[in-house]
Amino acid sequence: MGELCFVGLGLRDERDLSLRALETLRGCHRVFLEEYTSRSTPGTVERLEALLGRPVELLDRADVEAETPILSALAAQEKVALVVVGEPFAATTHVSLRLAAQDHGHRWKVLHNASILTAGPSLAGLSLYKFGRTCSLPTPHENYRPRSPYEVLAQNTRAGSHSLVLLDLDPGASRYLSAPEALRLLASLETEWHEGVLPPGRRVVALARVGSDDPQVVVGPWEEVSRADLGPPLHALILPGEPLHFIEEDALSRWPRAPPGPPVGGALP
């Protein structure tokens, strides 16, 4: 019987690992890491290898979804770790892997870590308790333009709940949806479905590089924020549910508004 340990990497790199996680990883026979559901800072794998004194095996999406590399390692070894950026079970695929390991008679455990779901709202200064359902905004393709993220935002808006909007990313192709791009996409969905998700002047919060040494937060009407330059990924958005608590108002007032100017970044399909 093997043991599969899901280890949260946190928001950035190997130095976000806890002392407990580091000790656990050092006690594992095989250490895998996947970066397709999110991504760590470049060089993390190499630095983690140096820290552990053992190889770290990088898995791509197909490897994790096929479950073969990890189930084979479990069958042959006692302890196997999968390091996941953020909190390990934010993506369904990791829960599936845990169920598959159980089906094969293996034990599992989890070492939790910071997630954008709590870190983003915390950084902005908005109450975690007031967030409704989170949604993930995909880059639209010709035949793929799902309505569900917009519906979640409409429902939260009607309920006065805050919304966290996670943005599509494809680390393998180095493609990351930016917050300004996401706002222009939401504006086009609003034009199509007009349920009040992005009425003129609605205040939004754009987040960039949460958990890094240079996080950035910009607050303002969506038209202004959609012209802001927030720098490198990862980005996220918050649509605050109005009215805000006075402490939330105070916290948002400390962040800069987006600088006026021409649109930044490329057009969306």
Interacting residues with a copy of itself (CB under 8 A): 8, 10-11, 14-20, 22-23, 87-90, 92, 95-96, 98-99, 102, 110, 112-115, 117-119, 121-123, 125, 127-136, 155, 159, 161, 210-211, 245, 247-248, 250-251, 254
CB of 24 to a copy of itself, least distance (A): 10
Q: Which is nearer to a copy of itself, 16 or 226 (CB)?
A: 16
Q: In this structure, what are the phi and psi dihedrals at residue 192, rounded to the nearest 5 degrees? A: -80, -45
- Compare residues 117 and 264 and give the one whose CB is closer to a copy of itself: 117
Give the SS3 label for residue 262: coil
Q: How far is the CB of 51 from a copy of itself (least distance, A)?
A: 8
Nearest residue (CB) to a copy of itself, 54 versus 112: 112
| Number of neighbouring beta carbons within 10 Å of residue 54 | 15
- Edge-to-edge strands, sheet with 3-8: 57-59, 30-34, 79-84, 3-8, 107-111
Query: In terms of CB distance, is 146 or 263 closer to a copy of itself?
Result: 146
Judged by CB, which is closer to a copy of itself: 89, or 176?
A: 89
Closest separation in Å from C-beta 112 to a copy of itself: 4
At how many degrees (to 10) do helices 148-159 and 179-193 cross?
80
Q: Put residue 155 in one of left, alpha, beta given phi > 0 → left and psi -120 to 50 → alpha.
A: alpha
At 84, is the secondary structure helix, strand, or coil? strand
Q: What six digits make up the tokens of 122?
A: 């915390």
Q: What is residue 28's three-state secondary structure?
A: coil
Residue 141: burial class (beta carbons within 10 Å; 0-12, 13-18, 19+): exposed
- CB nearer to a copy of itself: give 184 or 206: 206
Q: Count the Cβ atoms, other than its own, within 10 Å of residue 160.
A: 13
Q: Give, in order, the Cα–Cα distances in Å from 197 to each of 3, 146, 170, 187, 222.
A: 45, 15, 26, 8, 11
Closer Cβ to a copy of itself, 139 or 163, answer by number: 163
What's the closest the beta carbon of residue 23 comes to a copy of itself, in angstroms? 8
